[in-house]
Chains A and B, each alone.
Chain A
């Protein structure tokens, strides 16, 4: 599986046409990255309207300046960075300089089997939505986009240890939310069904 869904190469001929202002080439580029960009923004922000605004602004920023793109860095990396920056700016503007963070008491490691292996997508999405925005963003940037703690610290203006603690606390909170939201074992499902039937 690709490390990040953003890792898509654009043909040089498409880029050349886009640099000349060919609207069809620009649309082709937009369509290629529409889903990865929106998914990243949505996971970070947790709000469909704000995520849509972020993708609109990031894409406009990118497509207007595509003539300036030199091609010495991966195109997808450039776009992804713009989306992350726009999303972080949006979080700062909406929540002030201080981000909501998870408290210290939320990073107790558990020895139970990880519930996300069995959780349905909608349960995992619901649990993600219940995390504070910055915690969710750090978790996503680290696990899915594979940014390092150092890179996350630079982007968020926080420390490396902050990034590490948010990943740890976010994972623990996610585990707790999933365990309280979904039946943990098939036997529990069976007993619930039996109880309901009787």
Chain B
């Protein structure tokens, strides 16, 4: 922590800080650990969507690689009515080494493009519960990376995290894109069967 520009008399400020720090620490009552241990054990048990996620990723791999480059220009706006993506690209750290700044710029732009693309797909594609849960899990992981980015002290810390963030956004794009492809196929099949019936 730095740049602490105090506004009180420094002695008074130090005195208050010392008095507050001297207050006794408290512990949650009753103990939280039994609940936490139970929740952790339950969530580690395999569930259906944990197996479905790799399948969805594999099925949509072509969309993940190709589609984010296709529909949106770098400054294109999301589709009308598109909800905001849960993760918002954080600001790039200002203090950067020259070697890393170019890659950070590219990753930041890629991150923004993917977010716009995901927002557009989210608006257009219905999500089944399996995809929705997988997407929520990936969004949580993006949130985790964002927390670590907040704590990053320079580009040495930030660069691998930005790479991880873009990779996770690509995973999210795959899940969204896969759902969109399935929905499009379903719509096509419905139209074809209607024509046959008529």
Contact = CB atoms under 8 A, between A and B. Distances in A.
Given A36-B25, A56-B35, A144-B17, A109 B8 contact: yes
Contacts of A147: 1
Contacts of A146: 1, 4
A30 B141 CA distance: 21
B3 to A, nearest CB: 5
Interface residues on B, range: 35 or more
Interface in A15-41: 21, 23, 26-27, 30-31, 34-36, 38-39
Interface stretch (A95-103, A118-126, A180-188, A190-198): A118-126
Interface stretch (B37-45, B62-70, B178-186): B37-45
Contact of A65 (B1, B19, B29, B140): B140
Contacts of B24: 121
Interface string A72-83: 111001100110
Interface of A: 1, 3, 5, 21, 23, 26-27, 30-31, 34-36, 38-39, 42, 48, 51-52, 55-56, 59-60, 63-65, 68-70, 72-74, 77-78, 81-82, 85, 109, 114, 116-117, 119, 121, 124-125, 128, 139-140, 142-144, 146-151, 164, 167-168, 171, 174
Interface of B: 1-5, 7-8, 12-13, 15-29, 32-33, 35-37, 39-41, 43-44, 140-141, 144-145, 147-148, 150-153, 156-157, 160-161
